[in-house]
Amino acid sequence: MIRVLVGARAGLVLSSLESSIRSSPSLEFAGSIDPYHLPTEFSGDVLLIEAADANDQDWRALGDLPIPVVLLLDQADSALIGSALRSGIRGAISGDATPQEIESAVHAATAGLVVTTPTLLTGLLPDSQLFGEELAEPLSVRELEVLDQLAEGLSNKLIAHRLNISEHTVKTHVASIFAKLGVSSRTEAVSQAVRRGLVML
């Protein structure tokens, strides 16, 4: 269980983030902090913080914290994101990220990875064709949900439990995902999905 601290200016945002964290079976809400007054000691494993108006000095302060930091940003500003990541911050995701995206970002950050979303990442890379060609047959919403769980390394049984569907249905979706991505294994599916910007790691 990963303990997540949350920092947000608005009470509504804080409540929404707390709800997202509590809805995840692998995350535990560890409390909230004031984004403008960082504590000296932390009771959580990762800090999820809204930082829409932060600057380079704030980035350095956050990057020096003893726990990984994931930012919630209101806009895709490549200069701002690049500065934050260079300061040691582990992740930057959209302020309207889904509970599943938040969960994935937290897991990636605590695993030592740098994480962001395709929307925010686009401005950081020189290649406008970031994610390659489009699929001949796009994945359905449910297939994208299953693919996201595959990226977390979950078994068919756990995916079925999390999405409240049968294990047989999961197998059907996995087979369809493999066919549409032109792959034959979970590892290849996740690799292709990351390259195409279909999932966030």
Answer yes or no: do 59 and 9 share one domain.
Answer: yes
Let me know if residue 129 belongs to a domain.
no
Residue 153 CB: number of other CB atoms within 10 A? 11
Answer yes or no: do 48 and 83 share one domain.
Answer: yes
Helix (H) or strand (E) holding 186: helix 186-196
The total number of structural domains that make up the chain: 2
Concatenating the DSSP letter of every residue in 17-44 gives HHHHHHT-TTEEEEEEEBTTB--SS--S
Cα–Cα distance, 49 to 7 (Å, whole number): 4
Cα–Cα distance, 112 to 72 (Å, whole number): 18
pLDDT at 192: 83
* Parent domain of 169: 141-196
pLDDT at 129: 43
Answer yes or no: do 33 and 93 share one domain.
Answer: yes
CATH value at residue 161: 1.10.10.10
Let me know if residue 135 belongs to a domain.
no
Answer yes or no: do 96 and 161 share one domain.
Answer: no
pTM for the whole structure? 0.60
Cα–Cα distances (Å) from 159 to 5, 77, 80, 196, in that order, read 26, 34, 35, 22
Task: Show which of 72, 93, 124 is a domain's final residue.
Answer: 124
Answer yes or no: do 80 and 110 share one domain.
Answer: yes
Residue 83 CB: number of other CB atoms within 10 A? 17
Task: Show which of 96, 124, 152 is a domain's final residue.
Answer: 124
SS3 92: strand
Query: Do 72 and 51 touch, CB atoms closer than 8 A?
Result: yes
Return contacts of 182-189, CB within 8 angstroms, 24+ apart.
186/150, 189/147, 189/150
Answer yes or no: do 112 and 18 share one domain.
Answer: yes
pLDDT at 75: 63
pLDDT at 134: 64
Answer yes or no: do 17 and 49 share one domain.
Answer: yes
Which residues of the chain, if any, have pLDDT below 70? 52-57, 59, 75-80, 117-134, 200-201
Answer yes or no: do 115 and 149 share one domain.
Answer: no
pLDDT at 166: 94
Answer yes or no: do 59 and 95 share one domain.
Answer: yes
Task: Show which of 63, 93, 124 is a domain's final residue.
Answer: 124
